[in-house]
Amino acid sequence: MESKRSFKLWFVVLSVLLLVVFVMNISLGSVSIPFTEVLASLTGNGASKASWEYIIIDYRLPKALTAVLAGSGLAVSGLLMQTLFRNPLAGPFVLGLSSGASLGVALLILGAGAFGGAMAGILTSEWSLVFASAAGSFLVLLAVLAVTFRIKDSMAILIIGLMFGSVTAAVVAVLSYFSSAEQLQQFIFWSFGSLGNQSWYGILILSSCCVLGMLLALISCKSLNALLLGENYARSMGLHIKRTTVIIILATSLLAGGITAFAGPIAFVGLAVPHLARQIFTTSNHFVLLPAVILSGAFLMLICDSVAQLPYSEYTLPINAITSLIGAPVVIWLLVRKRKLLF
């Protein structure tokens, strides 16, 4: 009873903090907008200036929502991978999905010179990078699923996923070697990750991927708890290991692949947040951990984005760098303090 009360208290605290940080994130930016104007715009009353209304509704609000979706989605996919492979270093991109997305974008950007004018015309499309990234992730997903149906050992799937990542990274390296400085710069900027410049239609597609992936994760909570005891024990309890593995991989692919397609590769969050949630809630029960990582991931990503946009400055730092700079010391401190991982 005491632990349930403690869980509820933590969930209330995290929810309140998330709401506060969400509004704070929208309030900060290169243009100084009074907090009262931000609240008026968010509550539907409209800001006193049309330019402020446009900045809040069409730029800052979509960016904040993208941060919430990206943070929570990556955290959930990281939790799924760490439990499936029983490896504390597993993250959402351990299956090679990020490398596949990078290959798709590299073929589009770095291959533009080789394919000539037709590829250059596609490159100017608003959705070109999203489609290229999604296609690359999807092809790697198909390869991983094909392997999953043939191999029973989850550790073998992990190693094969890493090999897919190595192969795609090698192809990207070859393309980079023969590319111009302009093409390399564009590809590097994509690899930094970005939460901004999302349309409301893009937010709708991204949220659909995240909701579907989280629903698959939710229905797998009982299976995930069984996997913590080992595959042999889970099998003796009647768990269908192969079907569970496929569902978990599909959920991770929807979350990590969709987020990478719209926001680029964002490191560290999926690896670190599950550990933070385990340390805070001191449990390995996925019915508790799943909502915990959703709230914690969204909170951490909003904090990182608020720092990355350098409030009241025209400069914006790469979100990838900020997630590691802020998150890594926190995780190190918690692990040193607790001195154990709840696996």
Write the burial class of residue 114 (CB in 10 Å: 0-12 exposed, 13-18 middle, 19+ buried). exposed
Amino acid at 123: L
Q: Within a 10 A sphere around the Cβ of 274, how many other Cβ atoms?
A: 29
The answer to whether 114 touches 130, Cβ cutoff 8 Å, is no
Q: Is the pLDDT of residue 124 over 70?
A: no
Whether 176 is covered by a domain: the verdict is yes
Whether 343 is covered by a domain: the verdict is no
The answer to whether 289 touches 75, Cβ cutoff 8 Å, is no
Give the separation between CA 246 and CA 251, rounded to whole angstroms. Answer: 9
Whether 54 is covered by a domain: the verdict is yes
Whether 112 is covered by a domain: the verdict is yes
Residue 139 has what pLDDT?
Answer: 86
Coil, strand or helix at 259: helix
pTM of the model: 0.89
Instruction: State which of 42-46, 183-187, 284-288 shows the largest mean pLDDT.
Output: 284-288
Q: Which pLDDT tens digit goes with each residue over 28-56?
A: 888 888 888 888 888 888 888 888 888 89
Rounded to 10 deg, the angle between the 241-252 and 61-84 helix axes is 160
Whether 303 is covered by a domain: the verdict is yes
Write the burial class of residue 232 (CB in 10 Å: 0-12 exposed, 13-18 middle, 19+ buried). exposed
CATH number for the domain harbouring residue 208: 1.10.3470.10
Whether 166 is covered by a domain: the verdict is yes
Q: Which pLDDT tens digit goes with each residue over 53-92?
A: 888 998 999 999 999 999 999 999 999 999 988 888 788 8
Amino acid at 300: L
Whether 237 is covered by a domain: the verdict is yes
Write out the residue range of the structural domain in which residue 68 sits. Answer: 2-338
Give the separation between CA 92 and CA 85, rounded to whole angstroms. Answer: 12
Q: CA nearest 251: which of 80, 69, 75? A: 80
What's the total number of domains in the chain?
A: 1
Whether 207 is covered by a domain: the verdict is yes
Q: Is the pLDDT of residue 337 over 60?
A: yes
Integer-rounded Cα Rg, in Å, for the chain is 21
Average pLDDT over residues 290-318: 89
Interior CA angle at 142 toward 139 and 148, to 5°? 145
For residue 114, what pLDDT band results from cuts at 50, 70 and 90? low
Cα distances (angstroms) measured from residue 305 to each of 110, 120, 293, 322: 28, 31, 18, 8
For residue 326, what pLDDT band results from cuts at 50, 70 and 90? confident
Residues 6+ positions from 322 with CB-CB distance below 8 Å: 304, 305, 307, 308
Residue 341 has what pLDDT?
Answer: 52
Please state the separation of Cα 174 from the chain's center in Å: 27
DSSP assignments along 277-324, one per residue: HHHHH----HHHHHHHHHHHHHHHHHHHHHHHT-TTSS----HHHHHH
